[in-house]
Amino acid sequence: MPQNEFQDEESARTADEAFRRLVAQAKFDHGHAGYTGTIAEKTSFRMEQPRKDETPIACFSRCVADRNHWSVDKWGPAACIDFGPDPKRKGFNIFYFFGWAST
For the stretch 22-34, pLDDT in tens is 999 999 999 888 8
What's the length of the chain? Answer: 103
Compute the distance between CA of residue 16 and CA of residue 47 in angstroms, rounded to an integer. 10
Q: What is the pLDDT of residue 92?
A: 98
Q: What is the pLDDT of residue 32?
A: 84
| Model confidence pLDDT, tens digit, residues 49-87 | 999 999 999 999 999 999 999 999 999 999 999 999 999
Q: What is the pLDDT of residue 1?
A: 55
Amino acid at 13: R
Instruction: Summarize the confidence of residues 39-58 as an average pLDDT.
Output: 97
Residue 88: exposed, middle, or buried by beta-carbon count in 10 A (0-12, 13-18, 19+)?
exposed
Instruction: Give the ranges where 1-103 is alpha helix by DSSP (H).
Output: 15-30, 56-65
* pLDDT of residue 2 exceeding 80: no
With cut-offs at 50, 70 and 90, classify the pLDDT of residue 98.
very high
